[in-house]
Structure 1
Amino acid sequence: MIIWFVDQAATPEKETVLAHLRHIVCTLRICTDQDACVTFMTNICEAKIFLILPSDMNSFVERIRHLRQIEKIYIFDKPSNNIDQETFQLNLSTLCEQLRQDVELCEFDCIAVTATPPLTSNSDSTKQTAEFLYAQLMKELLCQFKLDENAQNILLNFCRQHYAHDNEQLSTIADFEQTYRPQKALVWLNRSCFISRMLHRAQRTREIDAIQKLAFFMKHIHIQISNVFEQTFALTQNPLIVYRGKTMLNDEFEILIKNNCRGLLSCSTFLITNVDKNVAMNFLRRRIATHADRIAILFEIHADPMKHNTMSPFISLDNIDLNDESENSRICFTLSVIFRIESVEKTDEQSMNNMWTVKLILIDDHDPHVYNLIEPLRSNDVHANPLFHLGKLLITMGDYDHAEQFYYKILADTSVLNRPHRLSLMHKGLGSILMYKGEYNKALEYLHKALEVSLSYLPSDHPDLASIYTMIGSCYSHMANYALALDNYKRAMQLMQNNIQPVDQQSIDDVHSCIIHFSELLKHQK
């Protein structure tokens, strides 16, 4: 996203600048008030902001310098008595060229990485594991996705609205509409245009609407990689070593990489690497030159074609007609491919003070660690309610806003209304999310809906109702309505005790503790 701070006056020069900036990114915002600008930037944590300011705003820079979402700040002045038109045009051209380079570097660097600790680790990795499983479940769903003949038109209509002011991208959209074929998916992934940018952003930010619109394109890429892999790499015995550069902030590097050595790592995108180590090193040098506070990471990836098949296909882009000018051999791995973090070592490099080499081993289909993590995602229940389980993983990750979007989207599906079990799950899921967000009145509304729907197909003494009563009790306790909280906890306990099936002892203990606590609380209130 580009944010340009400029005065409100409309001038021909202002429109010229806007036209140039729209060719670089589609998301462009004009700011005229400092306080409003700070508030806006603070609230969009997922964005990467390229901020353009006039030269007289040093105090403003000090106010916003700490914001991690700011990628870079540029100084650019509009024409004035001190700046003639020729100098203005030269400055604008210089600004736009630098922006193009910086945006390209940023997009290449912004691959979403998830990781899980090794099996022997005792660390609390619930959130990390949920992030890892979310990416893998998205991949599982993509493989099952049924191609809709109208999917391409839906995507292109959306993109035309999104790029309504960018004639260059509108022309590219028209080209896509006329020439796209499934066997050309990798060509379009490799092309810096509307669809590749949209894909990279959607995978990084978990935008479910965008991912659904792009699903046909992602599946075409995966199929193309799998087919070419079977025809080429699967027949060779030569091990492969490729490289990819990435930068991270120190805390992210410690949590995701160093603390998970011997664990698993996955990139939730189609990962493009290079057989030439110097290409990755040159990227890191350019990135660190303007982001000295970041850790430079060189991923050294070892892949043995003889050990991998359906789960981890990869191909050489040399075998694809990409019509680009790249002279380096690049290898593209499929979506959310999984590696083992073999080693993490500090590297001496003169141009970078803080560089690490991370050795990754591409796992095979029979890896027991991966099997234990992934196999539950292939259960009948997950396949029957995939979006519900994606929402549950998002809740575990603490990403309540995206989880809420998932459940609202499912409730908008009319087929769910005729399936009370699924409908109850959705209401219960929304109740859980709204409780986490502190919206207790709204949470109660959905939890009571979940109870009402459940009672339409379950007897009133069914043990499956216990979890709903427990959540209602918890909601009332947060609202300081302790009498109703106690009533619901007692009802939950009664259902648990009447259950002839094994019940999680921790759940019983938790509810029992709540009953004792609120009984004592109400006794003292009297």
Structure 2
Amino acid sequence: MGHKNSKSYSLSAKTRSNLPLSLISFKINESLPRNHPQSMTEIPSGIHTYKLPLTPIESTKIIENYVVVWFGRNIDEDRNSINQIRRVAHSFQLFTDIDELFAFIVKLKDEKLLLILSDPFAQKIVSSIHQTSQLNAIYILSNDRLQDELWIKQFGKIKGTFTHMESICKKLKDKLFLSEEDIIPIEVLDATTIIIQYLIKKILLDEIVYHKKSRKRLIKYARQQHANELDTIKEFEENYIPSKVIWWYTRKCFLYVAMNKAFHTHDIEFIIKMGFFIRDLHRQINQSDYEIDNQNESIVYRGQGISEHELEMLKNNKNGLLSFNNFLWTNTNRDTSLQFAYSARNNPDLIGVLFQMKINSSIKSISLEKLSYDLNSESGILFSIYTVFRIDEIKQVDEKIWLIDLILTNDSDQQLQDYFRSVERIENKTAWQQLGFYFIQINEFDKAELLYRILLQSNATDDSEQLAVLNERLGFLYNKKNNLIDSLLHYKKSLEIYLTISLSDDSSLYSIYFNIGNIFHKQNNLNEAMENYKCALNIILHSLKIDLIKVATVYYHIAEIYNAQGLFIEAIQNYQSSLESELKIAPHRHLTLANTYNRIGAVFYQIKDFITAFSYYEKTLKIQKKYLSLNHSTLAETNYHIAMTFAGLQQYRKAIEYAALAVNIARHSLESNDDNIRLYEDYLHELREKTLIGVLPNGPVDV
């Protein structure tokens, strides 16, 4: 029988337009997630992400990238001076036209301008652009210093007049060196960031397959982003070899700048683009025979500026863990590092810090003395990416200068060991699979998707099984975002790859067929859904070890399709098969069973076998009363189902009894304006009018 106010619920969260309104079903939130892939398990209990912030506590300062510009008449003929500047500045532009210079300055966004002027009209130019925010410093190249000194005092950004380009280049070198040394971000680590850094490092250094095309992709990108360094890029393309990687890194050309920026912004895509260079640099460091002076302990230093917020963050995390998010460039000379710390005070937003680091031979490092591009690097020591330290003493030693003691950790650190063991609980074969899975489990779906797309588009893996897994995970993520078209595309691609490397009945194909069936089901393409569900069922039934949960799930979805097609006998048979497997693995009062009992009762109600329908609804209610509170809204729905069943049997007094229970429970469990309350009230009112029975058999349900 039907009812104008009856409500149809879908157990699998699908709208069935062809179901009679009188068919009542519902979804219990605590039940088995029928319409989700069973291959994505819960996060291991050893990873306590709920205790920690999911966003890294990182550096807040803005990186200042500098571009050097030289303006003057006929200066393009002075090749010697141009070459001097190029050796100092990784980003350099030459202008002889004043309009082109102004247009260039206007377009600057993130970069700061260091301007060299060698023109009789320098005073006029300076007065026009001195207030420009992008302009950081001006150097005047002139043979008449006395005359120049009469007007330069009016403009604070002018750093002096110079008669030789060598003098300007020395000033530029100091400026650029100090600024670039200052941009490596620090990060106080929690469990989440440690795990992410650990897995990214494994991906970059151990898992990605780098080909010649990896270098070509980086070079193509560099030409687009660093057009002022085309000569250097060409030299890199023609002459780069892994044994010269430190020479290229310390040259501070486009490679150094791009890598710093990528690590600072957590740009995974570009970090992977530079992966071959990062791996070569790491390997050269780890192949080093450099030994610290003392077998037990040595001290290295690093001076840089940090924000006041970062300083407070470090103070509040004493004994916590800290990493530098790049290759760590340190110095054995304390005074040299202290100079960098003092230079930071020139920026009013920064505080100078001297990191004093205790190191030992357990972590590899390399001396830059014979490998650096700069021959004056005998005191430089380089560590690999994501080197982790423990924060020790913090004290102020001068105005806006702080000394921070750090102790180098290694993999035997107990806290790190605990985190690494939690990673091992993520049951995936590779680090990138573990990282993607981890992102999913902490609800960072966009990061997981980005990781998978980068790896797929960069062809970073040439392993067929890995490619199949990549496509499968992208299918899963797009399904989560309800992008069914792209989800289906990647699941099909994954299946296509799997079928080339596996037998058609391989148990690993179960989840692929199941998920493809699920998408077709959502799209109401029932025939295609049925075909894929049956493939999944065939695989799981012929597995060496039959997973009864998977068996129950597939039978359930097959039953849903038969039900939607109006094939009710077939639907009941498959629901019963699902129930049979569930009864073998779950207690008889489990909510999953209540879910299935309810669905079977709904089908019997639809074919007007009201007695059998009631028997299943009664089993549903018995389990729900065991596991749910007395005023749970789900109990209201089940009582409503039973009321309709008794109405079908024309036992109206019983129908009114259960309808009244539905109303009372709903009033205590739902918001007063909830549509379900009105639905149950209207149905109860109609039953009373129809039978002239106006007595409530039960009082209100206690809250």
TM-score in terms of structure 1 length = 0.62
1:262 is paired with a residue of what secondary structure?
coil
Give 1:230-241 correspondences, 5 Å limit: 231-233=289-291, 237-241=295-299
Whether 2:326 is the aligned partner of 1:269: answer: yes
Contact between 2:326 and 2:386, CA under 8 Å: does it hold in 1? Answer: yes
Whether 2:454 is the aligned partner of 1:409: answer: yes
State the AA in 1 paired with 2:454: K
Does the C-alpha gap of structure 1 residues 16 and 31 become closer, same or farther in structure 2, counting only changes over 3 Å? farther
2:180 is paired with a residue of what secondary structure?
helix
Give 1:435-474 correspondences, 5 Å limit: 443-445=481-483, 449=487, 456-457=513-514
Of 205, 225, 229, the match for 2:285:
225
Does the C-alpha gap of structure 1 residues 337 and 59 become closer, same or farther in structure 2, counting only changes over 3 Å? closer
Whether 2:601 is the aligned partner of 1:498: answer: no
Task: Give the C-alpha shift of residue 96 in structure 1.
Answer: 7.4
Task: Give the C-alpha shift of residue 363 in structure 1.
Answer: 1.2
Task: Give the C-alpha shift of residue 218 in structure 1.
Answer: 1.7
Correspondence for 1:111: 184
State the AA in 2 paired with 1:271: L
For the residues of structure 2 that align with 1:397 and 1:54, how far apart are their CA atoms? 53
Does the C-alpha gap of structure 1 residues 197 and 327 become closer, same or farther in structure 2, counting only changes over 3 Å? closer
Could you report, residue by residue, the CA deviation over 1:134-178 in whole angstroms, capped at 9, with x for unpaired residues? 32222122231355341334434443454444354245325xx33
State the AA in 1 paired with 2:422: P
For the residues of structure 2 that align with 1:154 and 1:524, how far apart are their CA atoms? 62
Correspondence for 1:366: 412
Give 1:135-174 correspondences, 5 Å limit: 135-150=197-212, 151-170=214-233, 172-174=235-237
State the AA in 1 paired with 2:340: F
For the residues of structure 1 that align with 2:261 and 2:320, how far apart are their CA atoms? 26
Task: Give the C-alpha shift of residue 254 in structure 1.
Answer: 2.0
2:483 is paired with a residue of what secondary structure?
helix
For the residues of structure 2 that align with 1:295 and 1:463, how far apart are their CA atoms? 63
For the residues of structure 2 that align with 1:252 and 1:195, how far apart are their CA atoms? 27
Could you report, residue by residue, the CA deviation over 1:296-342 in whole angstroms, capped at 9, with x for unpaired residues? 1111100122xx2xxx2123333x44363326422222221111111
Contact between 1:145 and 1:215, CA under 8 Å: does it hold in 2? Answer: no
Task: Give the C-alpha shift of residue 362 in structure 1.
Answer: 0.9
Does the C-alpha gap of structure 1 residues 264 and 456 become closer, same or farther in structure 2, counting only changes over 3 Å? same
RMSD (CA atoms): 5.3
Contact between 2:292 and 2:360, CA under 8 Å: does it hold in 1? Answer: no
Correspondence for 1:248: 306
Correspondence for 2:59: none
Task: Give the C-alpha shift of residue 57 in structure 1.
Answer: 6.2
For the residues of structure 1 that align with 2:284 and 2:443, how far apart are their CA atoms? 32
Give 1:469-484 correspondences, 5 Å limit: none
Contact between 1:160 and 1:173, CA under 8 Å: does it hold in 2? Answer: no
State the AA in 1 paired with 2:474: M
State the AA in 2 paired with 1:360: L
Could you report, residue by residue, the CA deviation over 1:191-238 in whole angstroms, capped at 9, with x for unpaired residues? 22233333222222233343223222222222222222xx44389624
Task: Give the C-alpha shift of residue 247 in structure 1.
Answer: 1.0
Correspondence for 2:358: 302
Task: Give the C-alpha shift of residue 462 in structure 1.
Answer: 6.2
For the residues of structure 2 that align with 1:155 and 1:425, how far apart are their CA atoms? 26
Correspondence for 1:313: 364
Contact between 2:353 and 2:402, CA under 8 Å: does it hold in 1? Answer: yes
State the AA in 2 paired with 1:280: S
Contact between 1:424 and 1:450, CA under 8 Å: does it hold in 2? Answer: no
Task: Give the C-alpha shift of residue 451 in structure 1.
Answer: 12
For the residues of structure 2 that align with 1:139 and 1:283, how far apart are their CA atoms? 29
Contact between 1:189 and 1:195, CA under 8 Å: does it hold in 2? Answer: yes
Give ranges in structure 2 of 5+ residues lacking alignment: 1-64, 94-99, 116-124, 141-146, 153-157, 492-510, 519-548, 554-589, 595-627, 635-665, 680-703
Give 1:72-87 correspondences, 5 Å limit: 73-74=136-137
Does the C-alpha gap of structure 1 residues 250 and 57 become closer, same or farther in structure 2, counting only changes over 3 Å? same
Task: Give the C-alpha shift of residue 378 in structure 1.
Answer: 4.6
For the residues of structure 2 that align with 1:206 and 1:221, how far apart are their CA atoms? 19
For the residues of structure 2 that align with 1:417 and 1:383, how far apart are their CA atoms? 11
Give ranges in structure 1 of 5+ residues lacking alignment: 42-46, 62-69, 117-127, 433-442, 466-495, 501-507
For the residues of structure 2 that align with 1:418 and 1:135, how far apart are their CA atoms? 21
State the AA in 2 paired with 1:173: F
Correspondence for 2:249: 189
Does the C-alpha gap of structure 1 residues 183 and 455 become closer, same or farther in structure 2, counting only changes over 3 Å? closer
For the residues of structure 1 that align with 2:184 and 2:429, how far apart are their CA atoms? 27
Correspondence for 1:484: none
Deviates more, 1:267-276 or 1:88-97: 88-97
Deviates more, 1:101-110 or 1:272-281: 101-110
For the residues of structure 2 that align with 1:362 and 1:375, how far apart are their CA atoms? 20
For the residues of structure 1 that align with 2:76 and 2:265, how far apart are their CA atoms? 30
For the residues of structure 1 that align with 2:136 and 2:670, how far apart are their CA atoms? 54
Contact between 1:264 and 1:340, CA under 8 Å: does it hold in 2? Answer: yes
Correspondence for 2:383: 333
Q: How many residues align?
A: 422
Contact between 1:416 and 1:422, CA under 8 Å: does it hold in 2? Answer: no
Task: Give the C-alpha shift of residue 26 in structure 1.
Answer: 4.3
Whether 2:310 is the aligned partner of 1:259: answer: no
Task: Give the C-alpha shift of residue 397 in structure 1.
Answer: 11
Of 207, 210, 214, the match for 2:267:
207
For the residues of structure 1 that align with 2:332 and 2:199, how far apart are their CA atoms? 29
Give 1:379-390 correspondences, 5 Å limit: 381-384=427-430, 386=432, 389=435
Whether 2:393 is the aligned partner of 1:343: answer: yes
Does the C-alpha gap of structure 1 residues 155 and 429 become closer, same or farther in structure 2, counting only changes over 3 Å? same
Task: Give the C-alpha shift of residue 369 in structure 1.
Answer: 0.4
Contact between 1:115 and 1:132, CA under 8 Å: does it hold in 2? Answer: no
Correspondence for 1:66: none
Does the C-alpha gap of structure 1 residues 188 and 396 become closer, same or farther in structure 2, counting only changes over 3 Å? farther
Contact between 1:134 and 1:394, CA under 8 Å: does it hold in 2? Answer: no
Does the C-alpha gap of structure 1 residues 240 and 522 become closer, same or farther in structure 2, counting only changes over 3 Å? farther
1:166 is paired with a residue of what secondary structure?
helix
Correspondence for 2:474: 426
Task: Give the C-alpha shift of residue 277 in structure 1.
Answer: 0.7
Could you report, residue by residue, the CA deviation over 1:435-476 in whole angstroms, capped at 9, with x for unpaired residues? xxxxxxxx43269938995673258786999xxxxxxxxxxx
Does the C-alpha gap of structure 1 residues 15 and 54 become closer, same or farther in structure 2, counting only changes over 3 Å? farther
% identity of equivalent residues? 20
State the AA in 2 paired with 1:336: Y
Task: Give the C-alpha shift of residue 267 in structure 1.
Answer: 1.3
1:457 is paired with a residue of what secondary structure?
helix
1:187 is paired with a residue of what secondary structure?
helix
Does the C-alpha gap of structure 1 residues 166 and 223 become closer, same or farther in structure 2, counting only changes over 3 Å? closer
User: Which has more radius of gyration?
Assistant: 2
Contact between 1:137 and 1:390, CA under 8 Å: does it hold in 2? Answer: no
For the residues of structure 1 that align with 2:438 and 2:181, how far apart are their CA atoms? 30
State the AA in 2 paired with 1:343: E
For the residues of structure 2 that align with 1:30 and 1:387, how far apart are their CA atoms? 49
1:192 is paired with a residue of what secondary structure?
coil
Does the C-alpha gap of structure 1 residues 383 and 376 become closer, same or farther in structure 2, counting only changes over 3 Å? farther
Of 346, 349, 352, the match for 1:293:
349
For the residues of structure 1 that align with 2:442 and 2:453, how far apart are their CA atoms? 18
